[in-house]
Amino acid sequence: MSLGPYASFIVTSYALVAAIVVILIIWIAIDYRRQRERLRELEASGVTRRSGRTATEI
């Protein structure tokens, strides 16, 4: 598939889109893990929620 004389522009565009989307996914995933970790720590240190449910329960 020939992309013509401006192939680098096309490839760079798609690569940037892929990169930013991947960064977004990774950032959200890491944030999720971090919050779950903190909830586990809080649970372990004995704090209870008002509703009585466990801190880590989704």
Residues of the shown chain interacting with another protein in the complex, contacts defined by CB under 8 A: 1-7, 9-10, 12-14, 16-17, 20-21, 24-25, 28-29, 31-32, 35-36, 38-39, 42, 45, 47, 49, 53, 55, 58
Minimum separation from the CB atom of position 54 to another protein (A): 11
CB 55 within 8 A of CB 37: no
Q: How far is the CB of 40 from another protein (least distance, A)?
A: 10
Is residue 49 within 8 A of residue 55, CB to CB? The reply is yes
Specify whether the CB–CB gap between 10 and 2 falls below 8 A: no
